Structure 1
């Protein structure tokens, strides 16, 4: 999948008004995911993505394996993206959906194996990936 196709799919699925907003949602989600993953995992996934997308998984704190909950994951994305929490949840879910199609099933399984079960809805088709607290 090429960069433009990836961003176009995020824009379409997340119902974003511009490619810039889709790029921002992608960056916020993948940078946050990269912080949650440990070791070389973000870099392994990045190797299967176009350069412009891959860079979001290869930032300074990528692979740090920082432990935070799914709720914190969504809160960080909301802050990075500059949108309200419900929007960030929806955008993150769509970015992960596109990511799951852009990289191999084995690589997605490697990513999922590093995350606690509470992250499962983020990867499941048809899921809203909703927060569990305050709902």
Structure 2
């Protein structure tokens, strides 16, 4: 399923209930860069290929093949979400801090969105290659009702 950058980021914004697109971009970047670190370069390319080029670079530019547990994965996402790497104009203000619980939710939301965009069982192949404690990351994929679909 091919999608545009605008549509992908818009869907992330909807799922994480972000007030600004910048928050959706920041979340996408944090999760995909960290995921890119956990997989081999070829796997990162497989995940990235159906994504818009403005997004696939987060996976492709990572330092691939690192091994760490899910708690470290979450910690790295939290660190990236809270790192002030932008010179924001004071009119926009700094991004709100993101705690661990919110980061875990965002990781799961992005993972489920990836599953919608990847062909076949590509994400299941990635899940099988990650340590067992990463199973939580894939929670929303088989959920009958997604949190963002609830009224």
TM-score tier after normalising by the smaller chain length? 0.7 to 0.9
CA-CA distance at 1:60 after TM superposition: 4.2
CA distance in 2, matches of 1:60, 1:18: 25
Question: For each residue in 1:23-76, what CA deviation from the matched residue of structure 2 results, as whole angstroms up to 9, or x when unmatched?
Answer: 100000000000011241001111111101111111141xx2211111111110
Q: Are 1:88 and 2:72 matched, yes or no?
A: no
Identify the residue that residue 36 of structure 2 maps to in structure 1: 34
CA distance in 1, matches of 2:109, 2:117: 12
| Contact 2:44–2:60, Cα closer than 8 Å, also in 1 | yes
Identify the residue that residue 75 of structure 2 maps to in structure 1: 75
Alignment root-mean-square deviation, CA:
1.6
Identify the residue that residue 4 of structure 1 maps to in structure 2: 6
| Contact 1:38–1:114, Cα closer than 8 Å, also in 2 | no
CA distance in 1, matches of 2:29, 2:121: 22
Q: Are 1:105 and 2:117 matched, yes or no?
A: no
Q: Find runs of 4+ consecutive structure 1 residues off by over 3 angstroms.
A: none
Identify the residue that residue 25 of structure 1 maps to in structure 2: 27
Q: Are 1:55 and 2:57 matched, yes or no?
A: yes
Provide the TM-score with structure 2 as the length reference: 0.77
Residues 1:54 and 1:39: Cα distance change in structure 2 (over 3 Å): closer
Identify the residue that residue 129 of structure 1 maps to in structure 2: none
CA-CA distance at 1:124 after TM superposition: 2.5
| Contact 1:41–1:110, Cα closer than 8 Å, also in 2 | no
CA-CA distance at 1:10 after TM superposition: 1.0
Identify the residue that residue 132 of structure 1 maps to in structure 2: none
* Count of aligned positions: 125
Provide the TM-score with structure 1 as the length reference: 0.85
| Contact 1:7–1:23, Cα closer than 8 Å, also in 2 | yes
CA distance in 1, matches of 2:109, 2:124: 18
